Amino acid sequence: MPSHRSRLWSRLRTRAIATFGRRALAAVLYGVIALPLALVGFFLTLVGLAFGGALSVTTLGLWLLAATVRGALALGVVQRGLARRLLGLEIEQPSAGDGGKGVLGWRRGILLDRTGWRAVGCALLTPFTAVFAYAAVVIGYIYGALFTLHPLLKRWNYNTVHTTEGSTHSTHPVSTDRHVSLEFFGYQLDSWPRWLIPFTAGLLLLAVAPLLLRYALGPQRALLTVLLGPDAATRRIRTLEETRARAVDDAAATLRRIERDLHDGTQARLVALAMHLTLIRELVTAGAEPDRVLTVVDTAQGNATQAITDLRHLVKGIHPPVLDEGLHAALTTLAADSALPVTLTTDIGTRPTPAVETIAYFCAAELLANATKHAHATSAAVDVTAHDGLLRLRVTDDGQGGATIGAGSGLTGLLARVRTVDGTLTCDSPHGGPTVVTVELPHT
């Protein structure tokens, strides 16, 4: 019985947090504020467009239109801020138009900027989407609270109707009060147990209020994201700029690493090898004892072997030679060399391009290394499919979980590498595990 009560209390507490928690109340506040703000913006924008259009043949009309567009942009800034603070909706700042010199250039830039006119469209359309959220707040929260508190507020849930009758025999009006209580299908809900009807209805409304408000905010979220954020072409350009910059940085970092490894490792060993070969020649010329010569030969041979190993590691970091045999062979070798027991499953219909194979290989290697070093996993699984121009790599481990993209983690670097070919990377890693990282790479 105590455990049953504790579970019931936990469910009630979870439901109360969902209905009256900080995020829920923030959404309620947004639903209350959004409609009046949208109506004010709608009225001012409509008036500005009407008068500006009527006077567009004059200079005053053009200035009025420019001011209206600028006001819509300012309203968009306010709406983005409210959506970010109260709904947690992050909307990217759209690119500003190129303004010319002077006030005439500013006016021309405002009137020709697509971002400004999209903000105007948003100002004209938001009342029709914000009304859904406002109605959800009224129905779910206000009526839910009133119905739930009806047993306590029943004396206020009625109307007092005053009727005044005139009389030919008296100049004093007669006032009578008629009590009108809450009714449900003709039944007066002013006594026990009929109070349970509005009380239960109120609890149900409060229980579904967060879900109702979330769905009601859907059109508002979509409208703000589409009209107040950058368009698809701008997002594409930004993504290409970011991936190009990352690709250039990665190439520069790779060149610096190769130069450092060659200078500090392989070059030093080759210099030592040349010195030992010179010493061997001098010893042979001077007729030194064979044991002494063999000792120097062994040292030179060790330097040569280590130089070859360093070169192999260096080349493997650029392009693993095993990839020449295909991604399946490369991943099989990688799984065999891993410190974890790895289950590999591949279904590669058409062989991807070399660039995509390289990215998939390095992603698998990095994810397996993370599972060993950071997640403390005991086993991992790698699943690869390549069909219809899409390669999907999924790496699963049974570690402690908690992996996130960002905050300087290795997943951020993998995401940057994947985005160079318009790929995606997602991570599902709850605390306690398991961790599932999915990489999707187009290769057509």
Range of the domain at 260: 232-318
Q: Is residue 3 part of a domain?
A: no
Count of domains forming the chain: 3
224 and 136 fall within a common domain: yes
Q: Is residue 166 part of a domain?
A: no
334 and 307 fall within a common domain: no
Distance CA 28, CA 5 (A): 31
What is the separation of C-alpha 311 from the centre of its chain, rounded to a whole number of angstroms? 41
201 and 272 fall within a common domain: no
Q: Is residue 5 part of a domain?
A: no
Q: Is residue 421 part of a domain?
A: yes
Q: Is residue 1 part of a domain?
A: no
Distance CA 53, CA 154 (A): 54
Q: What value, to the nearest 5°, has the Cα angle with vertex 80 and ends 21 and 39?
A: 90
85 and 206 fall within a common domain: yes
Q: Which of 318, 347, 373 is a domain's end point?
A: 318
- Prediction pTM value: 0.53
154 and 29 fall within a common domain: yes
186 and 62 fall within a common domain: yes
237 and 184 fall within a common domain: no
361 and 431 fall within a common domain: yes
266 and 212 fall within a common domain: no
Q: Is residue 293 part of a domain?
A: yes
Q: Is residue 172 part of a domain?
A: no
**What's the helix, strand, coil split of the chain in %, to 5?**
65, 10, 20
- Could you list the pLDDT tens digit for every one of the 444 residues in the chain? 445 556 655 565 665 566 667 788 888 899 899 999 999 999 999 999 998 888 888 888 888 988 898 998 999 889 998 988 888 888 877 766 555 567 777 778 788 888 888 889 999 999 999 999 999 988 888 888 877 776 666 555 444 333 334 444 444 444 444 444 555 555 555 656 666 666 777 778 888 888 888 899 999 999 998 888 876 666 666 666 666 666 666 666 666 766 776 666 777 777 777 787 787 887 788 877 888 778 878 887 887 777 777 776 666 556 667 777 888 888 888 888 888 888 999 888 888 888 888 888 888 888 888 888 877 888 899 999 988 888 899 999 888 888 887 655 678 778 877 877 778 888 888 888 788 899 998 876
215 and 277 fall within a common domain: no
209 and 182 fall within a common domain: yes
DSSP string, 42-67: HHHHHHHHHHHHHTTTSHHHHHHHHH
425 and 406 fall within a common domain: yes
